A and B are shown apart, each in its own frame.
Chain A
Amino acid sequence: MRDFDFIRPATISDAIAAAAGPGSAYLAGGTNLLDLMKGGITSPERIVDITRLPELNRIETLDDGGLRIGALVRNADLAHDPAFAKAYPAVAEALLSGASAQLRNAATVGGNLLQRTRCSYFYDTASACNRREPGSGCSALGGENRLHAILGWSDACIATHPSDFCVPLVALDTVVEIEGKEGRRHVTLEEFHRLPGDTPQRETMLEPGELIVAVRLPAEAASFAAHARYLKVRERTSYAFAVVSAAAALVVDRGKIRGARLALGGVAAKPWRARSAEAALLGADADEASFVRAADAALADASPSGDNAFKIELARRIVVRALMAAKAGTPERMPALPASPFSSIPGVRHDA
C-alpha cells in the first residue's frame, strides 16, 4: 500500500476542508477502501478518518415520521436494532445477508453506498478496465462475465454494484444526505448511482470532496413492514455476493395489491428499481400470475452482456419468489439464513 497522510478531523466541516484537495479519500469502516489500496486499485495521498465524528453515528426519527440513519452507523448495529428491523424488515434482512459478522461490525451505511464493483478485472491492475482507468478498455467483455450485468450496461462497462443493503433502500425511496463545501443537499438513492454509459469511472452523483452524512427513509417506507422480504441467490450458502437478488415490499388489502415496491441487486451497475413491475402490480390480485407479469416487466429490457443469459431467467424467478414471500408475510423472526431462497416459504413452489 502506498503511504498517505492521515488526518483525523474533529468536525464535519473540518473533514470536508481536509478532503478538499485532489487525492483525498474519506475512511470509515475501511472494509473496501483498504482492500482497494492494498491492490493499488486506488491510491489516495490523504486519508481523512471520519470514524470519530459522533454526529454521524445516530439513528433518529424525524418529525415527519421518516428515519434518518447517520452515515457511520455500522451494518451490524442497524440490522440488529429491534425497532429498525421491525419497521424495515427487508433492509435488515439484506444487511444480514451481506458479508460476514466481522465485516458487518466495521462496514458503515455510507461506505456501503460507495463500495466499488467486485468485477475481477476492476481488481486486477494488469487487466483493461474503463472504470479503473478510463479509455483502457474492458477485459470483462469477452472475458469471465457470467456474473456481470444484464440491465443498464454499456460497451464501456458491464460491472455490477455489489450492495445488498442498497436494494431494499432504493425500493423504499431512500434519500442520500450529502454535505460539501457548498452546504448540504439531498439526492434520491435511485439517482445517486450512475449507469456506466461512456463514463463508467463516474459511479455516483458525489462531487470530489463531498461526504455522505446520512440516508433518510421516508415515513411511507414503514407501511410495507408486514409484507417485505429480501431474497438473494448466491453461489454458496452464505458469505458471497449476490448472483441476483430482489427486495419486494407489498401492501395487500383483501387480496388486492395497494402498494408495491420492487428492486433488483446483482443485475446492474446500480441497485435496480423496477418501476414498470411496480406499476403492473398496483391494483392487481396478489397472486402468482400477477407476480409473473411483474417479473416479465422488470426484466423486459434485460440483455446478456456475455455468458450470463441465465441471470435473466434467474432474476425473473427470484422476483416471483420474493413477491410470493412478501405476500406470505414478513416472518416473526429473522430467518437463521437471512435472504436464503432455500428457506421454505408457505405457498411457494420449489421451482418458482
Chain B
Amino acid sequence: MTSKTTIPVHLDINGQRHTLELEPRVTLLDALRDRLGLTGTKKGCDHGQCGACTVHVDGERVLACLTLAAQAAGRTITTIEGLAREGELHPVQAAFLEQDAFQCGYCTPGQIMSAVACIREGHAGSDEEIREYMAGNLCRCGAYPHIVAAVRQAALEAAS
C-alpha cells in the first residue's frame, strides 16, 4: 500500500565515499552492516543501551543504532575497520590484545571505538575516570578489569 521512497545518502566511511539509496528510516548501523558489509560494528541491543555499535562521526563517538544514516550524510565516519593503518593495529587494538581485554569479543569493536575517543577526549586519567567514561559500553562476559587495563595502557602510550 505504501509506496517505498528512498533518498540518496552520501556516506564518507573510513576514507571512502559511498552513495546509497536508502529509505529514510535506515539507521547508520544497518547501512554499515547490511548495505556495505562493514559488520565489525555490532548490533547488540539496537536501543542505545549497550554501546556495541559505537562509531566515530566527525571524530566523536556516537551510537550508530540511534543515528539515521541520513543524519550522518556528509560527515566523516570511522568504524572499527578503519582504525588499523597499513596492516598495523591501532595502539588501542594492540593494547586490548596484550591485556586480554575480551572473552567472546562481541562488545570489543564498540569498546575499542569508545576507548580511542575516551583517550582522545582526555578522559582516561585514572581508572575511576576510565570506568565512568567507558560506562556506555557493556561487556556481558565481565572483562571490565582487563578493559580498564587496556585503556590505561593505551592512554599512557599516547601520552608518552
Asked if B14 CB lies within 8 Å of chain A CBs, one says no
Comparing A95-103, A183-191, A244-252, the segment that makes contact with chain B is A95-103
Are B47 and A38 in touch, CB under 8 angstroms? yes
Q: B48 contacts the other chain (Cβ, under 8 Å)?
A: yes
Mostly helix, strand, loop or mixed at chain A's interface?
Answer: loop
Shortest C-beta distance, A40 to chain B (Å), equals 12
**With a CB–CB cut-off of 8 A, which chain A residues contact B21?**
none
Identity of the chain A residue whose Cβ is nearest the Cβ of B24 in the assembled complex: A6
Is A25 close to B, CB under 8 A?
A: no
- Partner of A337 from the list B2, B71, B128 (CB cut-off 8 Å) is B128
- Compute how far the CA of A51 lies from the CA of B135 in the bound complex, rounded to whole angstroms: 26
Is residue A239 contacting chain B, with contact meaning CB distance below 8 A?
yes
| Contact A35/B48 with A51-B71, A337-B128 known, Cβ cut-off 8 Å | yes
A31 touches B66 (CB 8 A): yes
**Segment at the interface with A among B34-42, B79-87, B116-124:** B116-124
Closest residue of chain B to A239 (Cβ to Cβ) is B135
Minimum CB distance partner of B61 in chain A: A102
Task: Out of B51, B66, B126, B137, name the residue touching A336 (CB < 8 Å).
Answer: B126
| B114 at the A interface (CB under 8 A) | yes
**A199 on the B face (CB < 8 A):** no
Is A3 in contact with B71, judged by CB distance below 8 angstroms? no
- Answer yes or no: B68 CB below 8 A from chain A CBs: yes
**Interchain CB contact under 8 A, A105 and B62:** yes
With an 8 Å Cβ cutoff, the count of chain B residues facing the other chain is 37
Give every chain B residue within 8 A of A2 (Cβ-Cβ). 25
Q: Report B96-140 CB contacts with A as 1/0, cut-off 8 Å.
A: 000000000000000000100110010100101101111111000
Question: At the interface, yes or no: A27 with Cβ under 8 Å from chain B?
Answer: yes
A47 surroundings in chain B (CB, below 8 A): 24
Query: Within the assembled complex, what's the spacing in Å between the Cα atoms of A58 and B91?
Result: 35
Set of chain B residues within 8 Å of A336, measured between Cβ atoms:
126, 128-129, 132
A106 proximal to B (CB < 8 A): yes
In the complex, what's the smallest C-beta–C-beta distance from A88 to chain B, in angstroms?
20
Question: Per DSSP, are chain B's interface residues mostly helix, strand or loop, or mixed?
Answer: mixed
A10 to chain B, nearest CB (A): 14
| Chain B 27-52 interface 0/1 with A at a Cβ cutoff of 8 Å (1 = within) | 10000000000000000001110010
- Distance in angstroms between the alpha carbons of A336 and B25 in the assembled complex: 37
Contact of A106 among B23, B63, B126, B134 (CB under 8 A): B63
Q: Which residue of A lies closest to B134 (CB)?
A: A101
Binary CB contact string for chain A from 1 to 31 against chain B (1 if under 8 A, 0 otherwise): 1111110100000000000000000010011
Given A31-B48, A38-B47, A102–B132 Cβ distance below 8 Å? no
Does B7 interact with chain A (Cβ within 8 Å)? yes
Whole-angstrom CA separation of A1 from B70 in the bound complex: 15
Query: B76 at interface (Cβ–Cβ under 8 A)?
Result: no
Tell me the bound Cα distance from A133 to B5 in angstroms: 29
Q: Which residue of A lies closest to B26 (CB)?
A: A1
The reply on A49 being an interface residue by CB < 8 A is yes
Q: Cα distance A310–B4 when bound, in Å?
A: 51
A38 contacts B2, C-beta separation under 8 Å: no
Indicate whether B12 reaches chain A with its CB closer than 8 angstroms: no
Shortest C-beta distance, A4 to chain B (Å), equals 6
A4 touches B24 (CB 8 A): yes
Closest Cβ neighbor of B63 among chain A residues: A102
Asked whether, in the complex, the Cβ of A34 is within 8 Å of the Cβ of B66, the reply is: yes
Cα–Cα, bound, A106→B48 (Å): 11
Please, which residues of chain A bring their CB within 8 A of the CB of B135? 100-101, 237-239
Chain B min CB distance to A83 (Å): 17
Q: Is the CB of B133 within 8 A of A101?
A: yes
Question: Which residues of the other chain, B, contact A34 by a CB distance below 8 angstroms?
Answer: 27, 66-68
**Given A5-B24, A99-B136, A101-B123, A27–B68 Cβ distance below 8 Å?**
yes
Q: Are B67 and A100 in contact (CB under 8 A)?
A: no
Extra contacts besides A5-B24, A101-B61 (12): CB < 8 Å: A3-B2, A30-B71, A34-B27, A34-B68, A101-B123, A101-B134, A102-B63, A102-B136, A106-B62, A239-B136, A336-B126, A337-B128
23 contacts between A and B (CB under 8 A): A3-B2, A3-B4, A3-B24, A5-B5, A5-B24, A6-B7, A31-B48, A34-B27, A34-B68, A35-B66, A38-B47, A51-B71, A76-B60, A100-B51, A101-B117, A101-B121, A101-B134, A102-B54, A105-B62, A106-B63, A106-B66, A237-B131, A338-B132
Instruction: Give the B-binding residues of A (Cβ under 8 A).
Output: 1-6, 8, 27, 30-31, 34-35, 37-38, 47, 49, 51, 76, 99-103, 105-106, 237-239, 336-338
**6 shortest interchain CB distances as A-B pairs:** A100-B136, A6-B24, A239-B135, A336-B128, A238-B135, A1-B25
